[in-house]
Amino acid sequence: MAAAARESVLCVKADVKVYRIPPRVSNRGHRAADWKLDEPDWSGRLRVTTKGDTAYVKLEDRVTGELFAEAPVESYPSVTIESVTDSSRYFVLCIQDGSGRRAFIGVGFHDREDAFDFNVALQDHFKWVKQDAEVSKREQELEPCPKLDLGFKEGETIQLQIGNMKRRDRSRPRAVGGGAVPLLLPPGGRFARAGGSPIRAAEASLPQRGRDTALGTDHPDMEPAPTPLSNPSIDVDSPQSGWVQF
């Protein structure tokens, strides 16, 4: 069972006058000047309350709070509350009793500000009702998004497949035969300069016996062996041999 709507109070005015009004004779509206403004038929307190979308204008005794008359208002402006054509302080109110009978009475405020507050309270309420109805209509027009169920069902499993990751080989390079690559350095940890050639420096670091084996005789950095003279009888130290002696 739905909960009953809560009643809220919008406006309370302690001094209000009630008048019997003559029937409307034309479509030009009601005029407060046609009433006996100096002889009100009732005076008391006015309260504006709401329950749901409906507003209620209640005329009550200002001392005991006893209800004198009530006017349910479902829209504003409407035939339930009408302004008079010659004043902003007076209104025509359609009241109802429990049996559904209706009557039109005149209601007036002594202070113009009280009349303004009464008018604004009703306008704000029905403005809120209109906005709320538009929001509800837009929500109904929007299609609801499907609700995704991403949870595992009972007995459901998931399998993950991760590819083999190759480790990076950071070991030292090896020779083709499986042994480590040798690093030959001459004594002293670096090449000595032998005529500016690294080949000669390497040759100088080798013993005499292994020079011919390690380095070929036809290497471009090696000096050729001296060619023996064709005539061994010539004395190179003799001035007659044609050589200049220094």
Q: Look at residue 84 in the predicted model and tell me its pLDDT.
A: 94
List all residues 6 or more positions away from 152 whose beta carbon is below 8 Å from its beta carbon: 158
* CA dihedral sign, ordered 108, 109, 115, 118: negative
Please tell me what DSSP assigns to residue 33: G
**Averaged over 30-36, what is the pLDDT?**
93
Looking at domain 7-139, which of 2.10.109.10, 3.40.50.1470, 2.170.8.10, 2.30.29.30 is its CATH number?
2.30.29.30
Cβ proximity of 46 and 16 under 8 Å? yes
The yes-or-no verdict on residue 32 having pLDDT over 80 is yes
Instruction: State the alpha helices, DSSP H only, in the chain.
Output: 112-141, 198-205, 211-214
Domain spans, the chain: 7-139
What is the model's pLDDT at position 55? 96
pLDDT attached to residue 234? 45
Mind listing the pLDDT tens digit for each residue in 184-228?
555 555 544 445 555 555 555 555 554 444 444 444 555 555 555
Mean pLDDT score of the chain, rounded to an integer?
76
- Least confident range of 67-71, 106-110, 133-137, 168-172: 168-172
Phi and psi at residue 178, in whole multiples of 5°? 105, -15
Average pLDDT estimate for 72-94: 93
**Per-residue pLDDT averaged across 82-98, rounded?**
93
Q: Quick one: tokens of 245?
A: 């002696």
pLDDT classification of 16: cutoffs 50, 70, 90 = very high
Rg of the chain taking only CA atoms, in angstroms: 60
> For position 236, what pLDDT does the model report?
45
For the residues 65-88, what does the mean pLDDT come to? 93
| CA pair distance 246, 239, nearest whole angstrom | 11
Adjacent-strand bridge partners of 47: 12, 58
Q: How far is CA 71 from CA 137, 192, 212, in A?
A: 29, 120, 131
pLDDT, tens digit, 9 for 90 and up, residues 102-116 = 999 999 999 999 999
pLDDT at 246: 38
What is the CA angle 17-21-26, rounded to 5? 135
